[in-house]
Amino acid sequence: MEYKHLLLSVDGRVATVTINRPDKGNSLSPEVLTEIRDLFTELSGREDISVVVFTGGERYFSAGFDLNEIRKLEKSANEEYVALFHQAYRAIYFCSQPVICAVGGPAIAGGFDLTMMCDIRYASERAKFGQREIALSLTPIMDPLWRIIGMGRAREVAMTGRIYDTREAEQMGYVSRVFAKDALLSSVAEIAQGMADFNRDCLKETKQLANTVSHQDPDSAMRIQEWLFRSYIGSEDNHRRIDALQAELAARQKK
């Protein structure tokens, strides 16, 4: 498919999706949301892709809602636009592959919400984060935010509408690592390629496990994890990787 506002590149088993609307701060028009929904749905079904990187480039992520589009809406005629947001959110959150978010610049309101749907978040020093819905008399996305940073901190983020720099985002556990500006995409690409070398099915199962256990009581969570572990241990790929690791360790010891 052809996409107007998204760029797609594939390197090995890693797909990189870039929001490409720099003249509008990568703001989320209905067209952008439709493309995000459609592209992530397409990628989710591709057997040749193991990891997805989602970014807006080194200087942007997304300034959030396209305010000109929202201003046109009436309360009685907003269903289609609101549905588009949540379809895009769900396409990322339930994408089969792990999704790494590389945040190079501001991720505000709807842009912040997109980062929330990803499995791992990395940021550059110039990135900023803010759930600004409250300032627009809009209710925020609380789930999965509270699962990432805890309910107490999620309440602060949602109710104050404050803008956080990358260090604060890292301290609260929202961002996993911060990279120097202009080094974000190359650093994340290296991490993604390393992940893509792992067993693809095991990566998918691990993502599903992370989404599942948060809804389970401890006993049920332990049973699910036991069943999954049993289904992989002793497999041909498990044996192959053990042999490779042992050979690598033996080679190191000889040096």
* All domains of the chain in start order, with CATH: 6-196 (3.90.226.10), 216-254 (no CATH)
pTM: 0.92
- Decide if 229 contacts 202 (C-beta within 8 A): no
Task: Decide which of 109 and 77 is more confident.
Answer: 109
What integer is the mean pLDDT of 208-225?
Answer: 89
Q: How many percent of the chain have pLDDT more than 90?
A: 71
| Residue located via tokens 């907003």 | 78
d(CA 74, CA 12): 46
Q: What pLDDT is recorded for position 202? A: 93
- What integer best gives the mean pLDDT of the chain? 92
Q: What pLDDT is recorded for position 248? A: 87
In this structure, the strands spanning 163-165 and 128-130 are antiparallel
Residue 77 has pLDDT above 70, yes or no: no
Structure tokens, 71 = 């201003």
- Decide if 102 contacts 53 (C-beta within 8 A): yes
Residue 119 has pLDDT above 70, yes or no: yes
What integer is the mean pLDDT of 47-65?
Answer: 95
What integer is the mean pLDDT of 125-130?
Answer: 96
Q: What pLDDT is recorded for position 143? A: 94
CA angle 192, 97, 28 (to 5 degrees): 90
Around Cβ 215, how many Cβ atoms within 10 Å? Answer: 9
